[in-house]
Amino acid sequence: MPERGERDQSGSTGCRRAQAEPGATPGGGQGDRPGLPRRLPRALRGHCAGRLGIDRVPQAQRQDIVDSISSTEEALREIKRRSRERFRHAFEQINKNFSELFQELFGGGKGEMSLIEGDDVLEAGIDVIAQPPGKRLQNVLLLSGGEKAMAALALVLGIFHYRPSPFCLLDEVDAPLDEANVGRFTDKIVQMSVDTQFIVITHNKRTMEQARALYGVTMQEAGVSKLVSVRFE
């Protein structure tokens, strides 16, 4: 059998010669290709059948297939190019918002995001660096529980500033915060509530004091729950 890719004088591949060998018996077993010698390995029979099928495609249809592949590849390149541009723009704006909100919530310090180097910006990781007041610059994972919560809140609100929404739900985000940080957190929520409706699930009394309406569950009698709502004018 000729080597793979070897051509005879007529320019045909070994697949074509293998089919033309005299005495070859068409394959009839399960998975065999009709018109190919049974003695060829199964993988080679499939390879040859695919080549013979392409050779039988008319030139006009073959050109349509090539043009469709080129058009699809060009569309994918354009999608990736626009995605990279939009990602860079969004990352820069959110990083700016995060830095500003970090200083507001912490009362100083420095917070920023950086892209982990990679071949493609769409696949690069993001590293969050935080420096609360009086501490050295470090990865956010090394902060205390309350500091992590404040940094995460600054990042969430930074994204929220970039793509605002009329509605936002926060669940126990003030639980690990101390009194001073709770005050800065509630001040920021009150400031943003001009354009956005916030629903905050909390057990913190200081957070409840800033609410315009309270909804809760009480148990005046053992085993009997009752919904209570209070609206502040």
Strand order in the sheet with 126-131: 110-115, 126-131, 138-139
pLDDT-based confidence at residue 25 (cuts at 50, 70, 90) = very low
In the predicted model, what is the mean pLDDT of residues 162-171?
A: 89
Which tokens is 38 given?
A: 């049974």
Looking at the domain 80-163, which fold is it? Rossmann fold (3.40.50)
pLDDT at 79 > cutoff 90: yes
Burial 80-100 (b: 16+ CB within 10 A, else e): eeeeeeeeeeebeebbebbbe
CA–CA separation, 104 and 185 (whole Å): 9
Question: What percentage of the chain has pLDDT greater than the value 90?
Answer: 27
Q: Which of 144, 114, 148, 110 is nearest to 130 (CA)?
A: 110
Strand partners, 231: 213
CATH 3.40.50.300-classified regions of the chain: 80-163, 165-233
Q: Which spans in the chain are helix H?
A: 14-20, 42-55, 59-106, 145-162, 179-192, 205-209
Looking at the domain 165-233, which fold is it? Rossmann fold (3.40.50)
What does the pLDDT read at residue 98? 94
Predicted TM-score (pTM) of the model is 0.65
